[in-house]
Amino acid sequence: MKNEFKEAGFNLAELPDYFGEGRGAIKRLMEGSENIGAIILDVDINLNFAKMYKAALCLKRSDVLFLAGATDEKLLLGPNTFLIGPRYYLKIIEDFTGREPLVFGKPSFHLGKYISKKFNIIDASRTLFVGDSLETDMKFASLCGYQKMFVSTGVTKLDDMLRCKDKQMIPDYYLNSLGDLSQLIKDKLNI
């Protein structure tokens, strides 16, 4: 995401992965915050205390925008391998600052509006949204008014779907994988 912001002409405040030790390091963190106009939290495998504290310090100013991308608890890295999702460090910043971000990742109404405009979606009910997460994908599709298809190739599994009680997260359709959808379409069209 950083490259996209740079290409769009934004200046980014970059912090080193290692900021030092002691009070001097904390004082250096407090410097240079006056030119920061927005804090954007998303997936960052190099996240550390210094970055979180700098974000929190900046967000103490009411003129600084607070934006978030992903809000997942877990991110699938590979078969049975997960990363800690950004939801947890987002919660720390929210609790510390008393501020809530504008969320632009799934499930976000703002993202839904952007997608509808970009792809000229006039009738959302004719759009099928396919995803592998009940909490982000199916909830997002519900917020947007899309039809929902769940595939169990991600963080959420079939057992989770069967136990789900939240209507926003219950899919309209289910397949084991996206490849199954391809086969269904081929069969239907006699390809």
pLDDT digits (tens, 9 = 90+) for 153-189: 888 889 989 999 999 999 999 999 888 988 888 988 8
Residue 22 lies in a domain: yes
Q: Among 35, 70, 103, where does a domain finish?
A: 103
Residue 60 and residue 97 in contact, taking contact as beta carbons nearer than 8 Å: yes
How many angstroms from the chain centroid is the CA of residue 17? 22
pLDDT digits (tens, 9 = 90+) for 14-46: 777 777 888 888 888 777 778 889 999 999 888
Q: Position 69: which residue type?
A: G
CATH of the domain at 182: 3.40.50.1000
- Residue 81: strand pairing partners: 78
Domain hosting 134: range is: 123-189
pTM: 0.75
Listed in sequence order, the residues at least 6 apart from 130 whose beta carbon sits closer than 8 Å to its beta carbon are 137, 149, 150, 151, 178, 181
